[in-house]
Structure formats: structure tokens, C-alpha cells
């Protein structure tokens, strides 16, 4: 989804963010996607969490929220269009 080409639909439908914490062949990842009412989800980031995990930390809810906040701030024009963030794959969110 091109940021410039979807401003109209964003203002109409808002944004939905999707995320998943995955570990692929011992590499801890955080996948972030965004979608709008008139488009399929689009991958906006795949973050390598190896450094955090090697420090003994986990991909917990606070870390994930901070990572998403950075992407939302990069993508949004006025921080009023995000309607929901769905996430799966953290140990401390039930």
C-alpha cells in the first residue's frame, strides 16, 4: 500500500494493523502489516528481534507496543486514523 495513493481511503475507512511474533529457524521476528477498508493487508515491516532476545529480554507486550508505535507514527499523517491493532505471538498477552 503506497502511503501517497491511499490517503482518501484511510480517511474513510481508517487503518487496521496486524502483527505476529514468529521464530523462523531460531530467528525471532516481528511481522507488521497494515490494511485499509479497500485493500488487503500489506507487510510494512519485518523486524529482527535477535538483539533483544540475546540480551535475555522477550517479545513482550510492552516491546511490541513500542515497535508498533514507531510504525504507526511513520505511516499516519495525523495519528487519528488507526482503529485497531491485532497481535498474536507474545507470551504475556491473553
Structure-model confidence comparison of residues 55 and 5, the more confident one: 55
> What are the residues whose beta carbons fall under 8 Å from the beta carbon of 22, sequence distance 6 or more?
28, 29, 30, 31, 89
Q: Which pLDDT does position 33 carry in this prediction? A: 92
Residue 74 pLDDT > 50: yes
CA 28 to CA 59: how far, in whole Å? 9
CA 55 to CA 24: how far, in whole Å? 19
CA 71 to CA 61: how far, in whole Å? 16
List the beta bridge partners of residue 31: 20, 46
Q: Which pTM value belongs to this model?
A: 0.76
Say how far residue 8 (Cα) sits from the centre of its chain: 21
Amino acid at each position: 500500500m503506497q502511503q501517497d495513493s491511499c490517503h482518501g481511503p484511510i480517511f474513510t475507512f481508517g487503518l487496521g494493523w496486524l502483527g505476529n511474533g514468529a521464530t523462523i529457524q531460531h530467528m525471532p521476528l516481528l511481522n507488521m502489516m497494515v490494511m485499509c477498508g479497500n485493500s488487503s493487508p500489506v507487510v510494512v515491516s519485518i523486524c529482527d528481534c535477535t538483539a533483544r532476545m540475546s540480551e535475555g529480554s522477550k517479545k513482550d507486550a510492552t516491546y511490541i507496543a513500542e515497535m508498533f508505535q514507531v510504525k504507526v507514527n511513520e505511516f499516519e499523517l495525523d495519528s487519528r486514523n488507526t482503529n485497531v491493532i491485532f497481535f498474536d505471538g507474545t507470551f504475556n498477552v491473553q
